[in-house]
Amino acid sequence: MARQKLLDKARELTDGPGVYIMHDSQGVEIYVGKAKNLRRRVSSYFQKRDRQSKDLALVENIADFEFVETDSELEAFLLESRLIKDLRPRYNVLLKDNEAYPFIEVTWGEDFPRVKTVFRRENPDSRYYGPFVGAGDIKGALSILQRVFHFRSCQLTLDAANPRHFRRNGCLNYHLQRCAGVCAGRIDKGEYRRLVSNLCRFLSGQKKDLLADIRLDMETAARELRFEDAANLRDLTESLTTLNRQPAIDESLAPLNPQTEPEKGLLALQAALGLATLPKRIEGIDIANLMGKEVVGSLVCFLDGQPFKDGYRRYRIRTVDGQDDFASIAEVVRRRYGRMQARGEALPDIILVDGGRGQLGAAAAALSEVGATPGVLLGLAKQEETIFVAGRPDPLSLPRNNPGLKVLMYTRDEAHRFAQHYHHILRRKAMFGEEGGRRKKRADAPLTSGENSL
């Protein structure tokens, strides 16, 4: 098929997600790829542009293509992996060595199976899915799937016959409604394994059959007056049918395994810092840049030890030239807390900056400049995880298993993730001109659900 005809055909595709399969002149599948926007992605193959030699070889051998629409980017990601494994297209060289790329492992041999990312299929009792191109995409995919199937991702050994394993109040994932609360004994072995079995069916590409079976089970539960079971099945059906409204997989990078209970962590933090009251609101700040370019700041908000996405802010640094983390942190602090001070809004109980004494000093000076006084200002240095407290000469060192330290680490890591993601967006826009002609969002505006998706 002539290049122009291929381009015309591609321009008729949907704007939604899916997978495309490229064929050569003999009808052999030579490449499989996924796309958030099928029309735009497939059209790009047939437009004139400079390409690397390996990409040029692929494009020159494309004689036709077919495609499969999916309901979400997540399903496109999973389908791409299955098709590459089944078809073995010669230009998908990344997945030829299965041992070099990650799998999803479901530890089916355990009473309460875990779900994790691995690079080798070593356990005969486990179920494996993949391989996949990138561990980052798997992490994002599992973050989305955990919200739907509520599987556990911790490393705890849980034996259904040993009640001592379940004397817990539930981990942070349970309190964030990501896990069914296995460690707290909130779900029995049979019910939990049914949840994970449904996950396995979804990973195997059986979404339609799975939905049909869940709806039948829901109707049966309603007839038998098991209304709580029916409601849970209804919620699962709704989650599966609205996967296309979940965050994009490459943004869902929040930590999957925060191993502490929110209340326990805050109580430990209150004791370690000698606070009169429980620190209900914590805000974390981080900076991201590449060689001093596209410098951005992030602010994340935690309420009662849990992420509060409506309180997240992102900042494009305006007043700093080059790479200067101290000055960039100071700008974020001035803009955030100067505005709050002017509006008479209460400041958070704890402000946490990513870094040591230098970053802490810059934040303290900026707060003084705008006349703002938080409950506590902290800096958390990486590697040693040393806590620096404004106004105190000596740093605070807590054991790595201290629940209060874990709350701070979780806040710091989430601020870092969010800063890196915003930085990635700006770099991409700078490279591909995605801002042209579009209305710009205010750089420190609160995030909406739409802004949490690419």
pLDDT tens per residue, range 392-404: 999 999 988 899 9
pLDDT at residue 453, as a whole number: 25
314, 365, 310: which is closest to 338 by C-alpha? 365
CA pair distance 298, 311, nearest whole angstrom? 11
**Beta carbons within 10 angstroms of residue 223's beta carbon:** 9
Q: Encoding tokens for residue 386?
A: 């040393």
> Are the C-beta atoms of 83 and 32 separated by less than 8 Å?
yes
> Are the C-beta atoms of 262 and 172 separated by less than 8 Å?
yes
CA pair distance 192, 112, nearest whole angstrom? 7
> Are the C-beta atoms of 445 and 311 separated by less than 8 Å?
no
CA pair distance 324, 305, nearest whole angstrom? 30
Q: Buried (b) or exposed (e) across 136-174, using 16+ Cβ within 10 A?
A: ebbbbbbbbbbbbbbbbbbeeebebeeeebbeeebbbbb
pLDDT at residue 136, as a whole number: 64
CA pair distance 275, 375, nearest whole angstrom? 9
pLDDT at residue 350, as a whole number: 96
Residue 64 forms beta bridges with which residues? 23
CA distances from 228 to 11, 150, 170, 213, 224 (A): 47, 17, 21, 18, 11
- At 182-201, the pLDDT tens digits run 888 888 899 999 999 999 99
3-class SS of residue 136? helix
Q: Which residue has the tokens 């050994």?
A: 157
pLDDT at residue 318, as a whole number: 87
Mean pLDDT of the chain: 82
pLDDT at 420 over 60: yes
> Are the C-beta atoms of 407 and 281 separated by less than 8 Å?
no
3-class SS of residue 423? helix
pLDDT at residue 290, as a whole number: 55
Q: Which residue has the tokens 């930590």?
A: 255
CATH superfamily of 3-96: GIY-YIG endonuclease (3.40.1440.10)
CA pair distance 87, 28, nearest whole angstrom? 9
Domain ranges of the chain: 3-96, 100-245, 262-452
CA pair distance 288, 96, nearest whole angstrom? 35
**Helix 325-343 and helix 357-370: axis angle, to 10°?**
30
Radius of gyration of the chain from Cα atoms? 25
CA pair distance 30, 314, nearest whole angstrom? 42
Let me know if the fold of 3-96 is the same as that of 262-452.
Answer: no
Q: What does the angle CA 294 – CA 297 – CA 303 come to, to the nearest 5 degrees?
A: 155
Considering only 54-68, 86-100, 277-291, 310-324, which range has the smallest mean pLDDT?
86-100
The fold of 262-452 is Nucleotidyltransferase; domain 5 (3.30.420)
pTM: 0.56
CA distances from 440 to 251, 331, 453 (A): 20, 20, 16
The model's confidence at residue 242, banded by pLDDT at 50, 70 and 90, is confident
